[in-house]
Structure 1
Amino acid sequence: MKSLEAQLSYTQAIVTGILQGISELFPVSSLGHSVLFPAWIGGTWERFLNNETSGESPYLLMIIALHVASSLTLIWFFRDRWVILIGSFFSSLRKRRDLNGNERLIWKILLATLPVGILGIAFQDQVADLFSDPFAVGGFLFLNGLL
């Protein structure tokens, strides 16, 4: 475990949570902003970028926890829709026929998620190293903005 000086302060945790809450549902990268923010602030914040990819990084654990919490909140908020989509998935497996709108949607979600998940697992270390660099993150956000 890292020494106490490497831990997040309550202020840093609150500010990071507010940043995540504001940026998660807008068409910006909340993860990108979580990497850029410490670089912009500097000082004691900047040390989080130096150990971002280490398994013991308190900042990395905080970011993961915030993203999991955001995902669970959105799943809960849209739970009625998810129940319909999950039911449509199993319905599409049982019947040999043309797919209805919900069945097509759940298959599209699964097919779009699968390649990204496989690539993410295969290149986990390289992606973690790349996206812990504020300059790389800023460049990708800039390119994404151009698109």
Structure 2
Amino acid sequence: MRGRRTYVLAAALLGVAALLAALGVGDAPGFPDWQAFVLGVVQGATELLPVSSSGHLILVPWVGDWTFLETHDDFNQTFDVALHLGTMLAVVGYFARDLWAMVLAFFRTLRTRRLETADERLAWIVLVATIPAGIVGLALEDTITAHLGEPWQIAILLSVFALLLWLVDRRPATRDAHELSLKEGLAVGIAQALALMPGVSRSGITITAGRLFRLDRDAAARLSFLLLVPTVLGAVVLKGVKDVLLGDLPPGWKGPFVVGVLAAWGTGLLAIEWLLGYVRRHTYGLFVVYRLVVAALIVLLIVVGAREASF
């Protein structure tokens, strides 16, 4: 899916989501559809741009003084699954041909026991790079949730990893993603595991790792998008089974969940199309500046007493 079709589908998804939100169809008590729409748009953009979706999904309610998700953890957990499902659908739809080619290539390597084509190498690089985040997520997710995610911490991580992206983005680009070794793919995966900390950015840290290994800007972004699919799929399946199938869906879930998924899906398509076009002609400097500005605004809000430094 490319170009015009992407914009048409994105407009349709966002239009339906906005209409449902405006009509308040299935509003949850204390969590109106319009808030779900805003958070869906935030997720769709920030999951795929190198600016930290987890950080923004904490900061937007913090700035807006929306307390429902903070005080209703069961709803928050399942709504988070819905938003990630939306962005995964965007990536799967946009890169359907690439992903299918990689799946076929992966099974071909099981038969031939060799890595010969670009698709075969890329399939194994993505697989190897997915493992560290899965292990760390299973082992430390509760610890990270309990101890990280405060606004002041997000400000620090936004700044630190913005500067790291700025430094590595100055390196010359000499390689495509399939030219990485499996060891380098594993290193990208270890970097991706750091994104469990709100403020780091999954796409940001994988793009940073890709640029460190001299991938061109387009290749680094594409690798980041492809890595999202198995990573988010695993999280969606795990949390879906744990919080949805084996748990009880919270009252009033249907309206916000549908609106959130559609908004994240539509915005995610636009984010992919825009980013790939942008980085073919520009550096990642815009995102470095954005992250530093957001971090500065967080500090300013805390210093002037407009918002608390923590929850």
TM-score if structure 2 supplies the norm length? 0.41
Greater relative CO, 1 or 2 (CA 8 Å, sep 6+): 2
- 5+ residue gaps in structure 1? none
Counterpart CA distance in 1 for 2:86 and 2:124 is 25
Report how far residue 12 of structure 1 moved: 1.2
In the superposition, relative to structure 1, how do residues 61 and 98 fare at CA in structure 2: closer, same or farther (>3 Å)? Answer: closer
In structure 2, what is the equivalent of residue 14 of structure 1?
37
What value does the CA root-mean-square deviation take over the aligned residues? 2.0
Work out whether residues 31 and 68 of structure 2, in 8 Å CA contact, stay in contact via their aligned partners in 1: no
Alignment of 1:118 onto 2:118: no
Match of 1:100 among 114, 117, 133: 117
Between the aligned residues of both structures, percent identity stands at 33
In the superposition, relative to structure 1, how do residues 98 and 63 fare at CA in structure 2: closer, same or farther (>3 Å)? Answer: closer
- 5+ residue gaps in structure 2? 1-27, 165-311
Counterpart CA distance in 2 for 1:96 and 1:22 is 39
Match of 2:56 among 12, 33, 38: 33
In structure 1, what is the equivalent of residue 244 of structure 2?
none
Counterpart CA distance in 1 for 2:147 and 2:89 is 27
Counterpart CA distance in 1 for 2:77 and 2:148 is 12
Report how far residue 36 of structure 1 moved: 1.2
In structure 2, what is the equivalent of residue 72 of structure 1?
89
Work out whether residues 130 and 136 of structure 1, in 8 Å CA contact, stay in contact via their aligned partners in 2: no
Counterpart CA distance in 2 for 1:63 and 1:138 is 21
In structure 1, what is the equivalent of residue 187 of structure 2?
none
Report how far residue 104 of structure 1 moved: 1.0
In structure 1, what is the equivalent of residue 69 of structure 2?
48
Counterpart CA distance in 2 for 1:50 and 1:144 is 30
Counterpart CA distance in 2 for 1:102 and 1:91 is 10
Equivalent residues, number:
137
SS at match of 1:69: helix
In the superposition, relative to structure 1, how do residues 91 and 139 fare at CA in structure 2: closer, same or farther (>3 Å)? Answer: same
Work out whether residues 39 and 49 of structure 1, in 8 Å CA contact, stay in contact via their aligned partners in 2: no
Deviations 1:90-129 (A, max 9, x none): 1111113343211111111111110110110011201222
Counterpart CA distance in 1 for 2:150 and 2:77 is 13
Equivalent AA in structure 2 for residue 87 of structure 1: L
Query: Which is further off, 124-133 or 62-71?
Result: 124-133
Equivalent AA in structure 2 for residue 88 of structure 1: A
Deviations 1:48-103 (A, max 9, x none): 3355xx3x1x2332232111111022112211111100011011111133432111
Alignment of 1:86 onto 2:103: yes
Equivalent AA in structure 2 for residue 48 of structure 1: L
SS at match of 2:116: coil
Work out whether residues 55 and 149 of structure 2, in 8 Å CA contact, stay in contact via their aligned partners in 1: no
Counterpart CA distance in 1 for 2:152 and 2:67 is 13
Query: Which is further off, 84-93 or 9-18?
Result: 9-18
Work out whether residues 34 and 63 of structure 1, in 8 Å CA contact, stay in contact via their aligned partners in 2: no
TM-score if structure 1 supplies the norm length? 0.80
Counterpart CA distance in 2 for 1:98 and 1:9 is 51
Query: Which is further off, 28-37 or 91-100?
Result: 91-100
